[in-house]
Amino acid sequence: MKLVETNISWGFSNLIEVFFKANNLDVKCRGRGISNMKLTLEYEEDSDTALSITFMSVRHLGFENMLCDYLKRCGVPYELIPVGNSLPNRDMKKLDAEWEEYRKQLGFR
C-alpha cells in the first residue's frame, strides 16, 4: 500500500475523487491531522493505478502538482488549496440573467 501525504485540504476531496474516477484510478482519499485536515491518498504500489499515476506525474512535474492544477481548472484559487475553503455558492438566477444579457449581445432572442 502506497500512502501519499499531500498539502491539499480535505475539503476538496470530492473534486479529487471525481478526478480519480474520470481517469480510472483506484485511489482512496482520507484525512489526516486534528485541526488542519489534509488529504492522504492511498493506492496499491504494484497496480495499473500506480503505473498511471507515475506516468501522469512525470507529465505534470509531480503528483500533487497535477492535482493542484486540476483544482485550479475547477476554479479553486491556488491560495485556497491548502486552506480548504470551499467554493462560494453561485446565484443561479444571477447567472441566468447574465446569460440572457450575453445572448442579446450576440443577437439571439
Report pLDDT digits (tens) over 39-58.
889 998 888 988 888 888 88
Rounded to two decimals, what is the model's pTM? 0.68
Domain ranges of the chain: 2-106
Which one, of 43, 7, 5, 1, lies nearest residue 25 by Cα? 43
Average pLDDT score over residue span 55-84: 86
Contacts 24+ apart (CB under 8 A), 30-38: 32/5, 37/9, 37/10, 37/11, 37/84, 38/5, 38/6, 38/7, 38/8, 38/9, 38/10, 38/82
